[in-house]
Structure 1
Amino acid sequence: MDRRTERKIGIKDVSKEAGVALSTVSHVLNGTAPISAEVRIKVLEAARRLGYLAKRQQKGAIASLSTIYLAVPPGNLPHNDINLVSWTLLTALSRECERRGIKIVAHNGSPELNAAEILAGAKAVNAEGIILVYDDNPKLLRPLAASNYAIVLLNGEDPTMSVDTVAPANRYAARLATQWLLSRGHRRILHLTWRGRSTIMRRLDGFHDAYMEQNLPLDLGRTIYADGYEPDHAREALRSFISRHGGLDGHTAVFCAADNLAIGALSELQAQGFQIPGDIAVVGFDGVAPGDLTVPSLTTVRVPLDSLAVATLKALEQRLSISGHDHPTQRIELGCRLIERDSAASNLLR
């Protein structure tokens, strides 16, 4: 179209396209009054078709969210001081929603998340979108993705790319930590992990990536599987390894897939008489434990949990306001950084 004859689209056009009053369009776009989910969707779809939402969002003037439905596996709820990651992440999400005037309604259903229950709960509270945390089970994701709701999986991974996801760059960050240990002279490194979700598996992938990048044999790095992510699980796994091998079997560093494991590793290694970092360096992953919680203080990969919460809401808003259900899903990964402290402070001279 010739720019000289191009007509500027406004809310009157959206009102006509959606078949609703001008004031209704204004309330939906500005979040100034409660509007039914059906009418809200009708207005947003009309505004999207006309290209009006894209212009409004570019100006930071779109308010497409008023209520979100939050589904977290009960086992991942922060019920004790071990679940520091969950506590920090959900607190950050709650704080960001409060800042934006968005209401969060938490799912309260079966011990195992159920798609039908989640969708019914979201409908009952007129939620515009659903945030699913951690649970990347395909049996759960498939029916959720097939619904008409905007859905974002937070701190999880969808291998089918059927829903939008926001997560730390687990593979890259684990490679970064392992590369750092290799650069300081370590060659035989233990990776202490557990058989968890796909995001934990990506950390194992990153551990291997660092060895391959240096053209080092993968068997220099050995993986130890704990029964879970709690400190006691780490202590048990290391105690068993040391007993079987009569020591550390030549390993000079342990890279833990979570800070909780690293805390347990520090405790067990010191109980076995090893000096840290003199005999063995210890590195964690998450960055939620206070620096002075452990002795020595823990070197760790810091995950940007606050930024993950902000990015999740932005992804949900984008899906609602611009992308629509037919737009390709997106995977957003945020970078992490290594925090150097005393538990891996010295270079290894070999």
Structure 2
Amino acid sequence: MAKTTKGPGSKPRVGLKDIAQSANVSISTVSHVINRTAPISEDVRERVMQAARETGYLGLRREREARGGIRKVLLASSAYGLAENDNNLFLWSILSALRARCEQIGVKLLPHSPPGDHLSAEGIIRAANDERADGVLLIHDDRRELLALLSERREELPPVVLINGEDPDMGIDTVSPQNRFAAFKATRWLTEIGHRNILHVTWHGRTTISRRRDGFLDGMAEIGVRPENAPIFAFSGPDAWRAQPFLSDKLIEQVRSENITAIFCGADDVALRVHRSLHKAGYKVPEDISLMGFDNIVHAEMSSPPLASVAVPVGHIGPVALKLLEERLSESFGPSAPARRVELACTLIKRASVAPLR
């Protein structure tokens, strides 16, 4: 039976031992058949090849051969960025799926997490060259100045792909969820079931979060609410809620003063904190106010009531980034081709935390 590799989006990981067990032959026989290093009877050879096909080994082997140019990939993220997201299951789910995929196709991930708040272009270039990396995956740090420097100095680097972020100048390839349109769909659902006074809870920071706010504004504009009049509660950063408890009181004050009937948060972990604030203030979800988040982390489904959300294909973001690196190294695409922005479709998850307006 094929071995399994844990992680979102992972596929069975198989080896010669699995094929040998399935075909009822020795591992050495499998090796000889696969590599054509010794004469084997036609019956045994066909049995081994059939087992190799059924276990998925042949498909994975072809993928590894196609990725002949990628053996080592630098994974760049600031140490502070990773620590800041210690409780962010969304980010760690992306990394887990990426690691599983790399293990599956024989690519070695080389972590680059220098101390401090941010990465530097110089540090990434030095690390990539010291490690002789075939590509760079950049995660969490999508500052425009960093991306511009990496684009300007591309000749000193292997291909670079930004994971879960955007490059407004389109200097490097990027992979992210369809944040704006998915947030628009979520907001439209709330308006379709009668809500008009919808509050968006967000924070100042990364481009991906800004795109979710833009999608909310698009949805509100559809019912005639101008951007400057759309209710928004924004705080300074993802950790501000824990560090500044008074934000909870300010949120409740806005909910009451603007007669809010639904709250759409830029992330599930924020929505769960908002839920606690609402409960403390005497509001019931969804009887008094509807609540939904974004990302569809496991905590969302397990909350009470289960939190409506937007499911992001976290198991595909890393593998798609690897594919972009691979294509940058291929003759058919090449390093001089225009940068690409890949957006992956998200799914609206309707749960009991949202109810039609009474």
TM range, normalised to the smaller chain? 0.7 to 0.9
Quick one: structure 1 residues 104 and 210, their matched pair in 2 at CA, closer, same or farther if it must change by over 3 Å?
same
- What is the letter of the counterpart of residue 95 of structure 1? A
Residues 136 and 197 in structure 1, CA contact (< 8 A), matched pair in contact too: yes
Quick one: structure 1 residues 292 and 139, their matched pair in 2 at CA, closer, same or farther if it must change by over 3 Å?
closer
What SS is found at the alignment partner of 1:77? helix
Q: Match of 1:114?
A: 120
Q: CA deviation at 1:276?
A: 0.5
What SS is found at the alignment partner of 1:342? coil
Larger deviation, residues 250-259 vs 101-110: 101-110
Quick one: structure 1 residues 239 and 341, their matched pair in 2 at CA, closer, same or farther if it must change by over 3 Å?
same
What SS is found at the alignment partner of 2:141? coil
Larger deviation, residues 80-89 vs 211-220: 211-220
Residues 187 and 221 in structure 1, CA contact (< 8 A), matched pair in contact too: no
Correspondence 1:202 to 2:182: no
- What is the letter of the counterpart of residue 303 of structure 1? V
Residues 276 and 343 in structure 1, CA contact (< 8 A), matched pair in contact too: yes
For residue 62 of structure 1, the aligned residue among 40, 63, 66 is: 66
What SS is found at the alignment partner of 1:181? helix
Q: CA deviation at 1:238?
A: 3.8
Correspondence 1:105 to 2:114: no
CA RMSD of aligned residues (A): 2.1
Residues 80 and 115 in structure 2, CA contact (< 8 A), matched pair in contact too: no
Superposition map of 1:63-82 within 5 A: 63=67, 64-77=69-82, 82=87
Larger deviation, residues 114-123 vs 60-69: 60-69
Superposition map of 1:1-350 within 5 A: 61-63=65-67, 64-77=69-82, 82-111=87-116, 112-145=118-151, 146-148=153-155, 149-218=158-227, 221-230=230-239, 232=242, 236-243=246-253, 245=254, 247=256, 249-321=258-330, 322-344=332-354, 346-349=355-358
Determine the C-alpha separation between the residues in 2 that align with 1:246 and 1:319: 49
Extract unaligned runs of 5+ from structure 1.
1-58
Extract unaligned runs of 5+ from structure 2.
1-61
- What is the letter of the counterpart of residue 267 of structure 1? R
Residues 165 and 207 in structure 2, CA contact (< 8 A), matched pair in contact too: yes
Determine the C-alpha separation between the residues in 1 that align with 2:296 and 2:225: 28
Taking structure 1 as the reference length, the TM-score comes to 0.77
What SS is found at the alignment partner of 2:315? helix
Determine the C-alpha separation between the residues in 1 that align with 2:123 and 2:160: 15
Instruction: Kindly provide the CA deviation profile for residues 132-188 of structure 1, in whole angstroms up to 9, marking residues without a partner as x.
Output: 012121221123222232010000110000000000011011101100100110000
Q: Match of 2:15?
A: none
What SS is found at the alignment partner of 1:277? coil
Residues 235 and 267 in structure 1, CA contact (< 8 A), matched pair in contact too: no
Taking structure 2 as the reference length, the TM-score comes to 0.76
Residues 187 and 219 in structure 2, CA contact (< 8 A), matched pair in contact too: yes
What SS is found at the alignment partner of 1:255? strand
Residues 175 and 207 in structure 1, CA contact (< 8 A), matched pair in contact too: yes
Q: CA deviation at 1:268?
A: 0.5
Q: CA deviation at 1:242?
A: 2.4
Q: Match of 1:28?
A: none
Quick one: structure 1 residues 143 and 65, their matched pair in 2 at CA, closer, same or farther if it must change by over 3 Å?
same
What SS is found at the alignment partner of 1:333? strand
Larger deviation, residues 79-88 vs 228-237: 228-237
Q: Match of 1:6?
A: none
What SS is found at the alignment partner of 2:101? helix
